[in-house]
Structure 1
């Protein structure tokens, strides 16, 4: 059985967001390019498109995250 990568939907908060996560904003998928901590525990998210979003640490988001080690189709 082959191992590969797959995107899965994961519920995260502002503290567990990672580079590479994909967030849908206004129906558009936007990949997180960079994260910066700002005052009050918030995070400023920079996207590959150049757009920026600031979220609080309690913000709940559903993101697509690439995970490794999933089994491929069985033959």
Structure 2
């Protein structure tokens, strides 16, 4: 995958597949998500681990973006 990694603030509404979160010094990449009641999400990582993200939870993630796409905005 091409592009650059940027640091972005995420919550249950803005998290995307491919986002990389650092938790306890380990990097976890979001592989899939499941919607939960009250706008929460369960994140499934490539490692097989999962994390429940509530609507009020805010985390920082690394997201790969294509800078050429951002230039036109």
Tell whether the structures are fold-level matches, with TM greater than 0.5.
yes
Query: What is the RMSD computed on CA atoms of the aligned residues?
Result: 1.1
What TM-score results when the alignment is normalised by the length of structure 2? Answer: 0.85
Unaligned runs of 5+ in 2: 69-73
SS state of the match for residue 38, structure 2? helix
Task: Find the counterpart in structure 1 of residue 71 from structure 2.
Answer: none
What TM-score results when the alignment is normalised by the length of structure 1? Answer: 0.83
Unaligned runs of 5+ in 1: 71-75
For residue 36 of structure 2, the aligned residue among 38, 47, 55 is 38
- Residues paired across the two proteins, number: 67
List structure 1 runs of 4+ shifted beyond 3 angstroms: none
Q: Which has the larger radius of gyration?
A: 1
